[in-house]
Structure formats: structure tokens, C-alpha cells
Structure 1
Amino acid sequence: MCDLIPTPRVSTSISKSKLWHLPARFHCPIIGTCLMPTEIRQLAAKLGDKEIAREGDYWLHTYMVSHCSNKNRIALALQKHLDKKYAAAIKRFSKAKSDDAVMALWKEHLQQGKVAEAFWAALCHPHSSYQLQEHLYEEVHMLSHQIGAGQRADLKRLADSQDEVKLLTKRLEEQEKKHLKSAANKEQQIHQLQQQLEQLQADNATLKRENHSLRHAGNQQPKQALIVEGSDWRQQYKLSERRVEKLTAQLQQQSEQMTALEQLMMPRSDSCEGCDNQDCHKNPDFNGRKVLCVGGQHKMTGSYKELVNRCNGEFSHHDGGKEDSRKRLESMLNAADVIVCATDCVSHDAYYRLKRFCKANDKPYLFLPNSGLSSFAMAINSMAEKVAANPNSGQEIKIVNAG
């Protein structure tokens, strides 16, 4: 408020209703409450004070207040503008003939929020006493503080609302981006599904055409198709028969090897003469001949030796060129009566030297396809039987197997 020198309170009524007749300290709330800054600026421009009209709101407000204490062109313009602006309120208040009536109208307008028009109409009313004018001034003064506090609260709420709007705007933008991205992905998926559907439809049409063609061809040449199919089945049957024959031969060979091994592994009896035990088996007899095993698995050497010993033979072994020397093989071949060679565990050099030596010296020998114990047992059993059948043949006995 633009309070100047306080005016002493008096109890006499004020009959004057002009702006410059009112106490000077009333001018500030009148200008500030009853006129908007834009109105004041327009009045200043209309009065020719263009420089003043370009000043700030506070400076322009102070300028107008300072010209209200006496009758001048600015005070007259303000009086005219206020009377015209609040003519309806002045007319309503003119019906009041006492302070109480003016106060009643003031409270009524105050409840309706019509502070500015009621303030001007009540202050300029010819029946408003000084005490009433002071009361109105005090109420408007306090209202200005309340309005200021409310404005500050409103400004804070406005700032908070603006921050919230920014946050919500940011979230909305993020949601829009996600939505656009999701929409783009959905559109791409739809496009891919459409392509797949078109491809499936094309494939379906092709299959229908092929099915129709096959049915047409089947109706025309059913016998020829059956003949071709029967020929295929016969060919498959022949292949299956050959495979069965091959497997049967392998099974027979394995069975013979197992039988030979089982016979050699049966418990021996030193007195078999006159024995009527059907479970007892008499092993073939090498009659002390030397049996040389060339190659084979080193870990099976003990088992090889056990089988030869059971057939009354003297076992010796050469590893087939892995560690034993060539000279040692030559001497062992000379000393042996019977030679067995496992072809899957022997060097090429030892294999061909053994073969040449046995043919040149009429040595009985046998090549085994593998170094398994059952194969070795079958070979020992076969060779022992031939040696037993020709006990005096010596080196002239020759047993040659494949190889």
C-alpha cells in the first residue's frame, strides 16, 4: 500500500464522492483494486503520457496514485473511467440511505467476489461515514495480503503443475516412442505372416496340381506302377538275403571260435584213459612241439600261452616288429614247429618275411583275421589236430589258411 501521512479519524460523515476528496491513503487500494494495469496503461496513453505508458506496472501505479490528491486531468480521467466502469454497482448502492444499508450491500457483494465494484461504490457513496470508509479500507487491505498469499500459493502450485506437466509430457513421449516401435514391429510381423501365407497358398496350389497329375497318371498306368514297385521290393529282398547269409556265416564262425575256446578252457585230466565222463574233453596234443605266435595283443600273451600249454605245446611270442628285432624273428622262426600270426597286430615287414620263410622252409603256419582269444583258440585247435594226425611229418606238415 502507498500509505502517506495518516489522516486522523473523525466521526463526521463524508458527503463528497470524488476521488480527490477521499483521504490520500485510500488512493493506493482504489487504483490497485479497481483498475487493471492494462487499463492504467491505456489511460496514460490516451492522456498523451506515452513515455509513462511504457514504464513498468509498479512505476505507472505510483504515478497515477500521486495525481489523485487534487483535481487535475489525470484525476478527472480516473474518476470518469471508474464511474463508467462501475455504473451498475453505483446505481445499486444509491438505494442505500445509511451506513448499515451500505455495509449490508458491501457484505453481499463481498460474498459474491465483487470486491472492486463494491469498494468504489461504497467509498464514493454520499452517506458513507468516515468510520465505514475506514472499515472498508481495512478489509481491502487485509484482502490484499490474503490475495498475495493466495497468489504465492497459486504460483507454487503452478510451478509444481508445470513440473508435473513436463514429467507427464516426457512419459507420454516415451510411451509414444514405445507405441510407434511396437506398431512398427507388429506391422513387420504382419508383413512376414502375409508372405508366409502367400507362400503356403502357393505351395498348396502346387500340391493340388501334383496330386491331380498323380491321380490321373495312376488311373492310366496302375499295372506299370505296381510292376516297378514289385521290382524294388524284390531287389530289397535279395539284398536282405545276402546280408542274412553274411551275418549267419559270421555267427557260425564266432560260434566255432567260442566252442574251440570253451573246449580248450575245460579242466584237464591227467588220466583220461578209460574215463567214461561225458563232460570231460580231451584237448588236442602238440606232442611238445614249439608254437610261435607272431603279433597279437601283448596283454593277451598270457592267455595264448595257457591255451598252448593245455595242448601240450611250448609257447613263444614275437610282437611282430613293434619292439623285437628282425634278427630275433628270424631265429624264432627257425626254432618253431608251428607258427600262428594275428594279421591285425603285426607289421607289414614281419608279415611278408614270415610268409616267405614258411613257404621256403615248409613250416606249418596260419594267419588269423584278428587277435581275439577265441580266434586264437580255434586256430590252435585246428593246427593241433592236424599235427596229431601226422605225428611223424615234422616240418613237412603245412597248414595254410587265407593269406
Structure 2
Amino acid sequence: MTVPARRKLWEHEDYQCPILGTCLSMAELRKLARRLELTVLPHASDYELHGYFVRESRREGRIAQTVNRCLDKKYRKEIRLFAKAADEAALEALWKQSLAAGDVPGPFWAVMSHPVAGMRLLNKVFGEVHMLSHLLGAANRADLKRLSRLETRVDQLSQALSRVQAARRARNLEWAVRVKDLEDRLGAERLERLKLSRQVRETALPRPMGREDEVRALREQLEAASRETRRQAAVIEELYRDNLILREQAEDVSADLERAEQELVRALPCAEGGGCGPGGGCPAEEAGQLPGMEGKTVLYVGGRCNLVRHYRELVERRGGRFHHHDGGMENSASELHGKLASADVVLCPVDCVSHEACLAVKKACRNCMKPFHPLRSSGLSALARSLESLAGNAN
């Protein structure tokens, strides 16, 4: 019995657009364009490139055959699974299972290319994928709004933390000065009390009646010194309590900032890519890495110390290597030049590094002929947008 041939991409009447849009990412299409040495404009938009491949895939030729092979290779696992379906009913049942599990791109191509899939099933599957794209478009727009709110919240918390830390430093300085003054005064009071105690003991010896007033005065001075000592000890205790409250406030704000930054990082993978496929997850996330910076070394100068690990995560998620230099606060200038030698691109946020350090980095990049990209802010989304732009230029 002859096994019917699977349907080719160009054999569909009008399904090339949803197939390419759902089953291949823009990075994969740009890679195919380079491999096929296509005469596409170097700065063609994603929409223009997508439209070009859709037009070429509607007729049999070198481009359509290459795209068809790419789809078969990428989704060979799903194709083998759906090949077990002997009739349209079994094929539809497999599709419903995949759709319920949120797995769309591979099963979509497996159904659209299956030899037993009739027009009724093809139209139904296309309609479900089409409506998913509307739902995910709305979800992505909501994610972008949420990302904007999160970054605003992170900036607010960072500013609040800076204010609390500045107030704590000022209060600690005032506290240290006052404690030192009070301790000096306590020491002097103790010496005075010892002196008065000796005088009281001396005057307690057999003495003329005329010295009673002198003894009484010395005792009053001793009691006054004791009261002052107790008052100053209470002031020191109050300063300790104030310092503890400031420390707790700083820890609370730091914890809020850490939670907001983690939530922002979790929101970034989908939002920075501009949207996910109809499968309910980013194709790049399914592959474990976003495309565009493979093998590139990114040197990030300055920025916020508490975000460095998140900067690294964003760069490494795109396949790049991450190096960091704080702009000269702790890392030396010689260390900067050492890292600059191995960097492919240098990023510097202008809001979180000194003006002198930014100019020095820019001059060093010019001397070493390294690409220098100033960032408008030290936020995570600014870095994500810059990486997206660099990835687009590289493609």
C-alpha cells in the first residue's frame, strides 16, 4: 500500500502566512535569508521580510523548498507523532490534545502538511490559531503595560532606597558625633563625681560646724551630676533605637526593590521580544535562549550594583557573554582597558555613572575602535531594548 505524500508548503492555497508567522521566528527567517543569499533590503522590517517569504512560498522553487525542509527538520518530532493518525478524526483528536496543552507551532505544521487533512479540518485549525493570535496580541499589550509599570515601580523604590540610605548616613553621622560628645561628657561627669565623692568623704571627717553648708552643696552637685549622667545615657539609648528603625526601614525598602526587580526580570523575556507565538510561549524561551548575541561579548560600564546579575541574565539569555565594570568606584581603570580588549560592544547608562567616567569610556572605545552605545537609563528594559536593537543590526 502506497503511503500518501505529505502536503508541501506551496500546495496550500492561502495558508502560507499563518504557517510562517506561527512556526518560524523572525530570527529564523533572517537566518534563512542569509543562507539563501536573498536580495532583501538590509534594513527590511520584520513585516517586509515576512511578506517576502510568504510570496515566495506560494510557488514551488528554491526558497519554498528550503523553507519546507526547515519546517520538517524543526518539527520532525511532531510530524512523527501526527503521522500515526490514519484518518481525519484521529488527526483532529491529536490537534485538540496539543492545543489544550498549549503546544501550537509544531502540531500546526504537522496538521497542515498531513496527507489526510481535508479542507474542513484545515479551516478549523487555521481559525483556532487565528483567534489565538488575537488573544495573545492583547495579552502582549497588557504585558508591555505591566512591564512599564514595573520599571516605574523599580525606579520609585530605588529612589526611595537612596533617600532612606542618605537619611540613614546623615543620621548615623549625627548619631556618631552626638554619641562621641555624650561619651566625652559622661567621662568628664564620672571624673567630677569621683572628685566630689572624695571631697564628701574628706568633709565627713570631724569638722567645724561651719562646713555643713559646704558638704550640702557638694552632695547637691553629686546628685545633679548623677541626674545628668542618667539623662545622657537615655539620649544614647534613644539614638540607638532611632538607628535601628532606620536600618529596618532600609531593609524593608531593599526587600521591596528586590521583589520588584525579580518581577520585572520575569516579565522581560516576552515583552522584550515584542510578543510570543500562538503557542502560549515565546519560541525563543522554548529553545532556552533568545537569538541575536551568540558569541558576542558585552561590556556594561556603570549601572546599579543590585541589577548586575539581572544585566548578566539578559545578555546570556541571548547567547552573549557579559562583563561588568563599575565605572571606577571599585574597579580600576586598567581593569576597564583589560575588559575592553575582549568586548564586542560597550554599553554605558548615562544616569548611573559619572560624567567623567562616561567620557573616559567613550574615548577608550574610540581608541580601541569598539562600538560604544550610551543607554538612556540603567533600567532593565533599556538594556533589553538595546540588545534587541543590536540583534536586529547583527541580522
State the TM-score bracket (shorter-chain normalisation): 0.3 to 0.5
So what's the TM-score if we normalise by structure 2?
0.47
Task: Using CA pairs under 8 Å that are at least 6 residues apart, name the structure with larger relative contact order, 1 or 2.
Answer: 2
Compare CA radii of gyration and give the structure with the larger one.
1
Calculate the TM-score normalised by the size of structure 1: 0.46
